[in-house]
Amino acid sequence: MNTNDLYSTLLDLPNIKITEVVLSKNKIDIHCETETKSCKCTICKQETSCIHQSTTRVLRDLNMGSREVYLHVTTRQFYCSDCHHYFHEELPFASPNVGHTHRQSEFMFLVTQQQSY
């Protein structure tokens, strides 16, 4: 099993292909991209495969050992020729416009629940 396959198995992120893993003393940067070829328009619900541009989202994920984990996910912005709408593909493991994964959100919630004030 190569390194990318190992991290892919550990992270268990659907429709994600890991392209590079960069290890440093205190963090792990995992570069990946979605495998989505088409999406349904968020307005008219028509399937489109017309890609307008790609962007990279940096998402904080759960630590691996003592290292912080950052996912650098390349996502696509699609264009719907039916209703002329631009929209980004959604990630099933992170909310739009948020800098961390759902797992990290759950962890932060559990930690704050256990805090005594």
Give the integer Cα–Cα distance in Å for 74 and 56: 4
User: Mind listing the pLDDT tens digit of every residue in the chain (117 residues)?
Assistant: 777 788 888 888 888 999 999 999 999 999 999 998 999 999 999 999 999 999 999 999 999 999 999 999 999 999 999 999 999 999 999 999 999 999 998 888 888 888 776
Name the residue among 28, 115, 63 with its Cα closest to residue 18.
28
Residues 6+ away with beta carbon under 8 Å from 23:
67
69 touches 28 (CB < 8 A): yes
55 touches 87 (CB < 8 A): no
Give the integer Cα–Cα distance in Å for 12 and 103: 11
50 touches 83 (CB < 8 A): no
Amino acid identity, position 98:
V
- Which residue reads 């307005």 in tokens? 43
- Please give the structure tokens belonging to residue 82: 């039916």
pTM: 0.86
What digits encode the pLDDT tens for the residues 53-63?
A: 999 999 999 99
